[in-house]
Each structure stands twice: as C-alpha cells, then as structure tokens.
Amino acid sequence: MLNNDILRRLRYTLNLSDNEMIAMFASANRAVSRQQVSAWLKKEGTAGFAECTDRTLAIFLNGLINEKRGKREGIQPNPENKLNNNIIFKKLRIAFNLKDDDILAMLEDAGLKISKHELSAFFRAPEHRQSRQCKDQVLRNFLQGLQNKYHVESEAKEKNKPKTLSKPQIKNNVKMQPKQDEPRKTLSLNKTKFVWKEK
C-alpha cells in the first residue's frame, strides 16, 4: 500500500484536522507545516502531491502512539527509514491498544477472516521461522476495520459539543421577575385626573 493512502485513511478514521495532524508529528519531535500535510494528503497525480516517505509515515505513527497511549519519558524511539506492512500493522496495534481478539473481530467485520495463529505470525520478529509477511490485502482490511470501529462523523462531534446561548438567546431565556420591594399601584379616577394611589 502507498504511504499516502495509509495517511489519508488514518486521518479520515480519526477525523483529524490539519492542526491535529501537525500536533501528531510534533508529538514525535518532527515539525511539519500545513502545506506539507496538505501535499501528503492529496491524491496521486493531482497538483501539489508529495510522496509520504517511509520515515515520514513512521514519525506520524510514533506520534499517534504518543497521542493515544501517552508519551513515554526518556529517549524517544527513532523512526524507521524503511517500513513494511508488518511494522505498520504493529505500530497501529500498539497505538489503539488492541488484543488479538479485537483485531480478528475488526478484520472479520471488514470481510476477512483469519486465524489467531496467522495473526500472531505478522507480529513475530522477522528472523523467527514462523514469521509471515503481512500482505496489502490484510493491512487494507485492517484499516477498514479501524475505520468501521473508530470513525466519528464531524456532525456527531458537533452534536456532542455543549450548547452555548448567544446574548439575544440569553435575554429571551431569562424570565423577568417582579421587584419584591416595589409597592403595587392601582389606577383610580379622581374627577378628571388620573391619580396613582399607593395600597
């Protein structure tokens, strides 16, 4: 899978704004501009598109882990210069704190069913004899499963925001209370003049 596609999918899944994307990189000690983020998120072949390198995606994923799980003290892990699907899969698993059963359910929800043994093979050390390469189909379905579970529409976010009243609304919602100390007045007719009499 293309790194740019992975970045776009994660942005959509988490409904991240440009500022939140920038903050994600900053969490992994990388300063990026809004223009850079915009270029990475563009579709291939469109004007202004820029390739998201392995190192750039690794930095973003490290920042995602920091934002979701908390930034650990001390020296931060160095971003990889070369990524593969297994490393990306593992980083996302850590970021979302997923157990095997969680991942299997998400994959099945996306239309792919694999065994727990097959899944564990993706997370083994590369030199392990039972290690297996994570193919694009598996990673693509996992990203779809993440989207199905974690995507929050912007409209839903707006609905959950506390409502605040504008000044005119506040005035309209405040009931006028009668003054307690002011004596009541009645109108009586005294010849041809109106006279106020105190009760």
Q: Are 142 and 106 in contact (CB under 8 A)?
A: yes
- Per-residue pLDDT, 173: 53
- Helix residue ranges per DSSP H, 15-160: 18-27, 34-41, 54-69, 85-95, 100-109, 116-122, 136-150, 154-160
- Per-residue pLDDT, 75: 81
- Per-residue pLDDT, 8: 97
Per this entry, what is the length of the chain? 199
d(CA 90, CA 28): 17
- Per-residue pLDDT, 172: 52
Instruction: Please give the share of the chain, as a percent, with pLDDT higher than 90.
Output: 68
- Per-residue pLDDT, 77: 84
Which amino acid makes up residue 137? Q
Residues in the chain with pLDDT < 50?
154-155, 158, 165-166, 170, 186-194, 199
Q: Which two tokens stand for residue 195?
A: 């006279």
Domain ranges of the chain: 3-156, 165-198
Is pTM beyond 0.95? Reply is: no
Which residues, 6 or more positions from 8, have their beta carbon under 8 angstroms from its beta carbon?
41
